[in-house]
């Protein structure tokens, strides 16, 4: 069993995974202060965040040097999306991140798109 120290990054155990519970990472908060979609793009502003940032905040900020989706940040941090959204909204609130809503080329209720998907599924059967 190999466990990394607190200063070395997230507490991980090779067999058990993350040893710090997600609600601890987000200080028990379950809702972000900024509306973020999984497909929203986030990017570091270069501004120094005000106040204390935990190690997970710092890791998230490091991942956001280039535009990246919230879902990708969540996957890279190995945290649930809800926790990642809270971390990222903290960074947005302190001016360290900017967000861009996802760009959809088709409305999810676009009839022609839904018919094309249905047609493709029927061909697979």
Residue 104 — very low, low, confident or very high, per pLDDT cuts 50/70/90? Answer: low
The pairing of strands 97-100 and 68-69 is unpaired
| Out of 17-31, 44-58, 74-88, 106-120, least confident range | 17-31
- What is the average pLDDT across 114-122? 89
29-76 pLDDT, tens digit per residue, is: 556 678 888 888 999 998 888 777 788 888 899 999 999 999 999 999
What's residue 55's pLDDT? Answer: 81
The pairing of strands 12-13 and 97-100 is unpaired
Inform me whether the pLDDT recorded for 93 exceeds 70. yes
């Amino acid at each position: 069993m190999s466990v990394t120290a607190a200063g070395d990054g997230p507490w991980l155990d090779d067999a058990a995974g993350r040893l710090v519970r997600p609600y601890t990472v987000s200080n028990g908060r379950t809702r972000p202060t900024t509306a973020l979609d999984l497909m929203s793009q986030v990017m570091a502003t270069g501004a120094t965040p005000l106040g204390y940032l935990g190690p997970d905040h710092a890791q998230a900020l490091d991942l956001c040097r280039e535009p990246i989706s919230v879902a990708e940040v969540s996957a890279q941090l190995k945290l649930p999306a809800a926790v990642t959204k809270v971390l990222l909204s903290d960074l947005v609130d302190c001016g360290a991140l900017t967000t861009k809503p996802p760009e959809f080329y088709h409305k999810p209720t676009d009839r022609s798109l839904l018919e094309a998907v249905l047609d493709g599924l029927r061909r697979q059967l």
